[in-house]
């Protein structure tokens, strides 16, 4: 398999994700432990549950990034039930160190996979849950955008 000749968009995404993977293990201890499990309002996720949701996102997107390269085109993204997965995985009760290590390991694997996507596969067609036609390159960037959105909820400053 040929390594990709990274497009500017994917190269930027790799830089963003690498920064987050390096930053979280160093930064999460800056917050008091009770801050991680406080819920901002009834029915809202705590910072720890948001990080758990990002684990679920990583698991689902790692599968998408790999499958879309070899399954028949177009590849259809199958959505998942986010709230139910956060509850089923009991992220609120997990040791925070475990959750941080799990998130970091999954994102290191994502980085490995997306760094090695052959250039021609970045244009493979992806059908989003809303029915829009996008590309694998777009899906990779969207993953990083989603991560950044939730990152700001965990670390507002």
CATH of domain 8-154: 1.20.120.450
Per DSSP, the chain holds a count of helices (H) and strands (E) of: 6, 3
pLDDT at 7: 79
Residue spans of the chain under pLDDT 50 = 1-4
- CA 125/CA 75 separation, integer angstroms: 6
pLDDT at 26: 87
Domain residue spans of the chain: 8-154
In the numeric block, the tokens 């930064």 are attached to: 27
Provide the whole-model pTM: 0.93
């Amino acid at each position: 398999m040929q390594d990709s000749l990274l497009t500017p968009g994917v190269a930027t995404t790799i830089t963003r994700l690498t920064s987050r993977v390096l930053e979280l293990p160093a930064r999460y201890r800056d917050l008091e432990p009770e801050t991680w499990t406080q819920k901002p309002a009834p029915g809202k996720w705590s910072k720890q549950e948001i990080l758990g949701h990002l684990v679920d996102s990583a698991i689902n997107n790692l599968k998408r990034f790999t499958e879309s390269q070899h399954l028949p085109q177009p590849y259809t993204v199958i959505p998942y039930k986010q709230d139910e997965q956060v509850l089923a995985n009991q992220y609120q009760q997990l040791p925070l160190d475990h959750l941080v290590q799990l998130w970091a390991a999954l994102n290191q694997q994502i980085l490995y996979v997306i760094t090695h996507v052959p250039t021609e596969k970045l244009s493979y067609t992806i059908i989003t849950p809303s029915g829009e036609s996008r590309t694998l390159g777009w899906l990779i960037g969207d993953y990083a955008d989603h991560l950044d959105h939730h990152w700001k909820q965990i670390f507002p400053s």
